[in-house]
A and B are shown apart, each in its own frame.
Chain A
Amino acid sequence: MAQEQILTQEGKPLKQALRRALRREKMRSILLIAPLLAFVLVAFIAPIADMLFRSVENGIVADTLPETVVALQDWDPSTGELPDEAAYVALYDDLTVAVEKKIHTRLGSRLNYEQSGMSSLFRKAGRTVRSIEPGSPDMKQQLIDSDAAWGNLDTWALLKRYSGRYTPGYFLNAVDAEMNADGIEMKPDNERIYLYLFVRTLMLSLIITFSCLVLGYPISYLLAHLPLRKANLLMVLVLLPFWTSLLVRTSAWKVLLQQQGVINDLLVWAGIVDNTHRLVMINNATGTIIAMTHILLPFMILPLYSVMKTISPTYVRAARSLGATSWTSFWRVYFPQSVPGIGAGAVLVFILSIGYYITPELVGGTSGIFISNRIAYHISSSLNWGLAAALGTLLLVVVLFMFVLYDRIVGIDNVKLG
Chain B
Amino acid sequence: MELQPYDSTLEKIWHYAFMVICGLIFFFLIFPILVIIPLSFNATDFFTFTPEMLSLDPAGYSFKHYMDFFTNPDWQQALWNSVIIAPMATLLATSFGTLAAIGLARSHVPFRGAIMAILISPMIVPLIISAAGMYFFYSRVGLQGTYWGVVLAHAVLGTPFVIITVTATLVGFDRSLERAAASLGANPVITFFKVQMPLILPGVISGALFAFITSFDEVVVVLFLGSASQKTLPWQMFTGLREQISPTILAVASILVTLSVILLTFLEIMRRRSERQRGMSPS
A contact residues vs B (CB 8 Å cutoff): 22, 25-26, 28-33, 35-37, 39-41, 43-51, 54, 215, 218-219, 222, 225-226, 228, 232, 234, 236-241, 243-256, 258, 260-262, 265, 294, 297-298, 326, 351, 354-358, 361-362, 372, 375-376, 379-380, 385, 388-389, 392, 395-396, 399-400, 403, 412-413, 415-418
Contact = CB atoms under 8 A, between A and B. Distances in A.
Contact of B127 (A39, A244, A357, A413): A357
B272 to A, nearest CB: 10
B29 A237 contact: yes
Given A43-B152, A240-B30, A416-B168, A218 B21 contact: yes
Contact of B36 (A39, A236, A252, A354): A252
Interface residues of B, number: 95
B217 A375 contact: no
Chain B binding site: helix, strand, loop or mixed by DSSP?
Answer: helix
A399 B124 contact: yes
15 contacts: A28-B103, A33-B104, A36-B97, A43-B153, A49-B133, A248-B237, A255-B35, A258-B47, A261-B48, A351-B124, A372-B126, A379-B132, A388-B132, A396-B129, A399-B124
Contact of B260 (A219, A240, A358, A392): A240
Interface stretch (B59-67, B115-123, B172-180): B115-123
B212 to A, nearest CB: 11
Contacts of B104: 29, 33
Contacts of B168: 416
A50 B100 contact: no
Contact of B48 (A218, A239, A262): A262
Contacts of A26: 108-110
Contacts of A298: 29
Nearest to A229: B283
A218 to B, nearest CB: 5
Closest A-B pairs by Cβ, 4 of them = A355-B126, A32-B103, A47-B133, A47-B137
Interface of B: 1, 7, 11, 14, 18, 21-22, 25-26, 28-30, 32-33, 35-36, 39, 46-49, 92, 96-97, 99-100, 102-104, 106-110, 115-122, 124-138, 140, 152-153, 155-156, 159, 161, 163-165, 167-168, 206, 210, 213, 216-217, 219-220, 224, 234, 237-238, 241-242, 245, 249-250, 253, 256-257, 260-261, 263-264, 267, 271, 283
A37 B117 CA distance: 11
Given A39-B159, A43-B152, 17 more contacts: A30-B103, A40-B118, A41-B118, A46-B137, A218-B18, A218-B22, A222-B1, A228-B283, A241-B33, A245-B256, A246-B219, A251-B249, A254-B241, A260-B47, A326-B7, A389-B132, A392-B129
A39 B156 contact: yes
B29 A256 contact: no
A292 to B, nearest CB: 13
A237 B29 CA distance: 7
B58 to A, nearest CB: 21
A169 B244 CA distance: 38
Nearest to B137: A47
Nearest to A354: B126
Contacts of A30: 103, 109-110
A33 B109 contact: yes
A245 B119 contact: no
Contacts of B1: 222, 225-226
